[in-house]
């Protein structure tokens, strides 16, 4: 094990972090919008749309992400004339946008189920109270239902963000030079896969460690009602002593 080579490789792999984070961030934002829409459709049981959304979730959760990336990157080229007429070919011929599309679609299917669980966990008393104050429709969702649902779904949703970061490694298969793409290039040059993958693993571990801390902090900030005031906690400890 050559630790000097691992250190050298680590610094080279750092150049792929910006692309990795950009892929994850853009895909996560798009997936979040789609997930909210799908979760609302499935929760409200909107005719026809509910069946389409259910099929969408079933297909994207039931097939490997790598297959989806290949189908989008290689398969959409068969519809080039149609895509050109729609003005989409300039995006879908680029591996970057194909990766974003695949990551976003795949993540939205999983995230929609997480949010659907959060929506179904919103207490009816909260909804009825809001309706008694005259809230309904979009205003009810924006002020009451979605904030509570997102807060309850945050731990699972945070895991989905971490999964997206790790899934960006698959985009190296369609020529993107993020962390894993650079690692593959270094392996082909040095024939030392163990050291290179150790360095890459450390980078992914560090990124995901930071994300877990941020998610935990956000969860702490969004649940002040679950935290006991310090003076109350001290009194309880004295009472039990």
pLDDT digits (tens, 9 = 90+) for 176-195: 999 999 999 999 998 899 99
Rounded Cα distance, 187 and 77, in Å: 30
Contact 151, 223 (CB under 8 A): yes
Q: Can you tell me whether residue 146 is helix, strand or coil?
A: helix
* Mean per-residue pLDDT over the chain, rounded: 87
Rounded Cα distance, 215 and 28, in Å: 14
Question: Can you tell me the mean pLDDT for 215-239?
Answer: 67
Q: How confident is the model at residue 35 (pLDDT cuts 50, 70, 90)?
A: very high
List of residues 6+ apart from 91 with CB closer than 8 A: 97
Reported as type and span, the H/E element at residue 149 is helix 146-167
Give the CA angle between residues 29, 35, 40 to the nearest 5°: 140
Closest Cα to residue 165, out of 214, 92, 221, 220?
214
Least confident range from 49-63, 91-105, 114-128, 153-167: namely 114-128
> What DSSP string describes 171-201?
GGGGT--SHHHHHHHHHHHH--HHHHHHHHH
Q: Does residue 226 register a pLDDT over 80?
A: no
Of 126 and 198, the structure prediction assigns the larger pLDDT to 198
Q: Which two tokens stand for residue 148?
A: 């509570």
CB-based burial label for 57 (10 Å; 0-12, 13-18, 19+): buried
Q: Does residue 145 register a pLDDT over 90?
A: no
pLDDT digits (tens, 9 = 90+) for 86-97: 888 888 889 999
Contact 197, 147 (CB under 8 A): no
pLDDT digits (tens, 9 = 90+) for 148-175: 888 888 888 889 999 999 999 999 999 8
Whole-number pLDDT of residue 162: 93
């Amino acid at each position: 094990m050559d630790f000097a080579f691992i250190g050298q490789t680590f610094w080279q792999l750092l150049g792929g972090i910006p692309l990795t984070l950009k892929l994850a961030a853009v895909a996560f934002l798009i997936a979040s919008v789609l997930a909210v829409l799908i979760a609302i459709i499935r929760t409200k049981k909107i005719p026809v749309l509910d069946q389409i959304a259910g099929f969408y979730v079933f297909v994207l959760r039931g097939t490997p992400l790598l297959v989806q990336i290949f189908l989008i990157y290689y398969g959409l080229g068969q519809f080039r004339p149609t895509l050109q007429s729609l003005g989409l070919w300039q995006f879908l011929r680029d591996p970057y946008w194909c990766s974003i599309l695949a990551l976003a679609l795949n993540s939205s299917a999983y995230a929609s189920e997480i949010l659907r669980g959060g929506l179904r966990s919103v207490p009816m008393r909260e909804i009825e109270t809001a309706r008694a104050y005259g809230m309904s429709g979009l205003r009810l969702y924006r002020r009451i239902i979605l904030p509570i649902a997102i807060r309850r779904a945050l731990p699972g949703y945070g895991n989905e963000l971490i999964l997206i970061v790790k899934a960006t490694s698959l985009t190296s298969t369609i020529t993107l030079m993020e962390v894993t793409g650079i690692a593959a290039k270094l392996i082909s040059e040095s024939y030392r896969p163990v050291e290179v993958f150790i360095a890459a693993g450390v980078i992914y571990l560090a990124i995901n460690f930071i994300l877990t801390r941020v998610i935990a902090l956000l969860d702490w900030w969004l649940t002040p009602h679950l935290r006991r005031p310090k003076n109350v906690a001290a009194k309880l400890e004295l009472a039990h002593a």
